[in-house]
A and B are shown apart, each in its own frame.
Chain A
Amino acid sequence: MEIIKPFIQFLAVMFLSPLLLGVINRVKALFAGRRGQPLCQLYWDLYKLFMKTPVYSRTTTWVFKGGPVIAVSAVVAALAVLPFAGRQSFLAFEGDFIFLIYLLGLARFFTVLAALDTGSAFEGMGASREMQFAVFAEPAFFLGLAALSRVTGQTSLAGMFGTLTSATWAAAAPVLILLTASFFMVLLAENSRVPADDPNTHLELTMIHEVMVLDHSGPELAYILYGASLKLWLFGALIACMVLPRGGSWAADTAVFLLFMVAVAAAVGVVESVMARLRMIKVPYMLITAFAFSALALIFQMGR
């Protein structure tokens, strides 16, 4: 049983992650006074897209078709090292979070190249912005993980979240609160949510992530949407593992964890409903703020 648990967790993530976007949309609808889409809308969208025949631009090469495939595989491989409810996945090793960060980098690399492959000015614009924000988001995320490593004295995700207990929270609450805030900001930026980017905007000039995938259709678009939902889960799970130190049995932890993931999605929905998106030149400021939070947390922890 102990051996198959990580695989059950992995499959659960693969299956449940599209639900988070449904939750976000429901929360936003609630704020707007609408009924909103069904919770499982993304599943239907994915099914529909997989059944569709794609259209390819005449400019494109294999990069355009291969980009989404590689990107989604990178995110799925990243899930292999992602802890679930504070428990390790089937792959856990020293420095696995470095591997995770670089897998996300791989996904971004090919998404951006696939966008540039179309030769469209809009998609180039989105690609340029994506890389710009990554330059600010990655150090913030990295420094946050470094601070977490320093708090727990561990150098793997499973180790860090495994040793994180309520006693750690009692001792280092300010540091962990700062880190949670920083990770949440990185989550918003990396998953192109308001205030960094608006997934529902209808003007190409203001888009970031959505504009990069304008030309994708059919199975490729399905891969992209699915990859996005996995990525949201990934960042949400990091926050959840940090805020919820593992306590009881596997089943209890898992239940609390899943509830918390829904809560994270709801929080994203609330942020989207109550905030306007930032002006494009202000987005780096938000990420620099996240960086400052991570840096403060690390300095606090090192000054102890």
Chain B
Amino acid sequence: MLLLLFSFLILLGSAALALCLSGNPRRAQDAAAYGAVAAAAVGLVPALNSVFTGSTETFAAAWPVPLGSLSFSLDPLAALFLLPVFVLSAFSAVYGCGYLAGSSKPLGRAAAAFNLLAAAMMLVFTAANAVLFMLGWELMAASSFLLVLFDHEKEQARRAAFIYLAAGGTGALMLLAAFCLLGAGAGTLDFASFSPLSGAAAGAAFLLALCGFGLKAGFIPLHVWLPEAHPAAPSHVSAVMSGVMIKTGVYGIIRIMGFLHPWQEWWGWTLIAVGAVSCLLGALFALAQHELKRVLAYSSIENVGIIMMALGLGVAAQVYGSPALAALAFSGALLHVLNHSLFKGLLFMGAGSVLHGAGTAELEALGGLGRRMPRTALLFLVGSAAACALPPLNGFAGEFLIYIASFRGLNSAGPLALAGVLTGLSLAAAGALAAAAFTRAAGTAFLGEPRAVRAADAHESSPLMTAPMFCLALLCLAAGLGSPLMVGPLSAAAAAALGSAEAEVYAAVPLIYVSAAGLILAAVGLIAAAKRGFFLHGRSPASGPTWDCGYAAPTSRIQYGASSFAQPLTDFFQPILRKIGRYPVISEYFPAKAAFSAEAQPVFYNALYTPVAVRLRELAYRFSWLQHGRLQIYIMYIIVTLIGLLLWKL
């Protein structure tokens, strides 16, 4: 615990130092990055210790804030979520130094906000008091809001930041309500003193927590801020936001559910439904996006959906009396949390590298970057393969556990079988869609010929950027092959989440086999590559143009682009996607020029939120007579309120 505190102080101190140094942007950023790396090195020790030994450390001190106390707790669940905080914030801070080098922005302040974000997330994961938790939560929201506003001169960034702020505020209100419900009986907001609710109150607390945390986790339909904010933020920030910050929502849901035993049947089904919809639609929307970081943002929604679905399966299993299955499903969800943070961090850094090297992340303008930025291309491909859950990389391990849970559910009696089928089927369908989305993104960005001049002039990023990506890619591979090692810690964390006394050991054997099979795959691959080398030994392959079917004047515009690649699928799912397209109509015998455009729409934003916002604004206008814009009157409001409160309390 002491080390954790130390790490927290390092983060805060380096943030302050970066603020002081903001006259010299480079130095400020370096200081912050050193701080983040040191904090990670220090903080990983207690986190790893807790994860692997399953021990729980607590720390409590008095705090003069009403209902608050400085109580911290580091149990295996919190430690598991802390791991990506440290890993990703350290790598992202280093990456950020390369990414923002040469920028004329106030880098000191940005770096300070970044370290503050990491510190706030530490606070969220270790707080054992609701007031402290909310403090961390709001600090996290504020610092990430500032980071989203990094490019504040762009209209898009301002809009994204505003939507993000609104979503964060709404979520925090709901969380306050949920914590009040939980702490109403106890008179204090310490987590340990929460009294169990029952019946409708528990249901209400669950719904409030689901919506409040869901607004951070970003599952559909509470995701609208996510595809706006992630592309707007600088890439290393998107990596942390997508890799770790949205997981605070997942953590919150798990944590709150721990206070709400016994669980109710419909909670599981709600989680499964929300998760299934998110993972399917997230993958589908990812397929329709035209900007690399937006693709990744929607893929995050998909992965949060997968995690939610696994949690739902676990809840259903617990309710229907199958705790071993519940532990398995929860471990799958937790493992996927870890894995997603690794590969999504890598992918966002890759996207940032593209943005940095080619000046744009619009897929239709990219192409051929594989020859111009070979290292980024390789690392992005590794990340894509992991995101498609392809063995032997890490994305597969978590999904595999969830699949196993769904199949065990399928083979049990009653409604659990249905839960298993729904989970497994949604996972399989989302996997196929995600594979299409990522082959499309990686293929159009890195392969083929450049589609625009800027892509043709792209340059490889500095080692300061590629080195963190390389480390993350290695971690992806290592986490994939080393997943059996995680079984023990995961079951301890799952036991903490489920509130059961002892951890159930369940799935060690299949994961070991998966790793073994992954090694076999690698061996076969090496043999096949060696054989190819043997056959080609001493021969010099010829090179020529790509087969063009005899067409004499090919241009790079002829290539299949991002929209054409996705067109068969997006057309099929047009009732859901509602993309707006303009197709050329050929009327003459020798058509000269034709234009085609297709635009993905934020369906939920347009169809769900805009009408609500319009109604709200109409409603608010009715009260506009309260707004006079005169200071005196506002002060009068305050005085009147104070007197009113005083009278009421008398």
Report yes or no: B556 in contact with A73, Cβ–Cβ below 8 A.
no
Q: A168 in the interface, Cβ–Cβ < 8 Å?
A: no
Contacts A95-B404, A106-B391: A73 and B546 contacting too (C-beta < 8 A)? no
Report yes or no: A142 in contact with B447, Cβ–Cβ below 8 A.
no
Report yes or no: B447 in contact with A58, Cβ–Cβ below 8 A.
no
Instruction: Specify the chain B residue showing the minimal Cβ separation from A101.
Output: B428
A69-106 interface code vs B (CB 8 A; 1 in, 0 out): 11011101100110000000001011110110111011
Instruction: Specify the chain B residue showing the minimal Cβ separation from A120.
Output: B546
Contact of B569 among A77, A91, A96, A131 (CB under 8 A): A131
Contacts A61-B370, A98-B403: A128 and B568 contacting too (C-beta < 8 A)? yes
Contacts of A146 in B (CB 8 A): 407, 410, 421, 424-425
CB distance from A149 to the nearest CB of B (A): 6
Contacts of B374 in A (CB 8 A): 61
Report yes or no: A134 in contact with B546, Cβ–Cβ below 8 A.
no
Report yes or no: B370 in contact with A77, Cβ–Cβ below 8 A.
no
Report yes or no: A138 in contact with B439, Cβ–Cβ below 8 A.
no
Report yes or no: B560 in contact with A128, Cβ–Cβ below 8 A.
yes
Report yes or no: B546 in contact with A57, Cβ–Cβ below 8 A.
yes
Contact of A149 among B410, B438, B520 (CB under 8 A): B410
CB distance from B606 to the nearest CB of A (A): 25
Contacts A116-B443, A131-B439, A150-B417: A102 and B390 contacting too (C-beta < 8 A)? yes
Number of interface residues of B (CB under 8 A): 82
Number of interface residues of A (CB under 8 A): 77
B421, B449, B540: residue with the most chain A Cβ atoms closer than 10 Å: B421
Near B by CB (< 8 A), chain A positions 31-64 give 50-51, 53-63
Query: B-side binding surface: helix, strand, loop or mixed?
Result: helix
Contacts of B424 in A (CB 8 A): 142, 146
Contacts of A149 in B (CB 8 A): 407, 410-411
Contacts of B544 in A (CB 8 A): 55-58
A144-157 interface code vs B (CB 8 A; 1 in, 0 out): 00100110011100
Report yes or no: B411 in contact with A117, Cβ–Cβ below 8 A.
no
Give bound CA distance, A122 to B545, whole Å.
14
Which of B111-119, B521-529, B624-632 contacts its partner? Answer: B521-529
Give bound CA distance, A91 to B520, whole Å.
10
Contacts of B133 in A (CB 8 A): none
Give bound CA distance, A72 to B564, whole Å.
28
Instruction: Specify the chain A residue showing the minimal Cβ separation from B411.
Output: A153
A-B pairs with beta carbons under 8 Å apart, 17 shown: A57-B543, A57-B544, A59-B545, A61-B447, A70-B525, A93-B510, A95-B400, A99-B391, A106-B390, A109-B435, A109-B439, A119-B448, A127-B565, A139-B425, A150-B410, A154-B411, A284-B572
Q: Which residues of B are at the interface with A, using a C-beta cutoff of 8 A?
A: 367-368, 370-371, 374, 377-378, 381, 385, 388-391, 396, 400, 403-404, 407-408, 410-411, 417-418, 421, 424-425, 428-429, 431-433, 435-436, 438-440, 442-444, 447-449, 507, 509-510, 513-514, 516-517, 520-521, 524-525, 527-529, 531-532, 535-536, 539-549, 556, 558-560, 564-569, 572
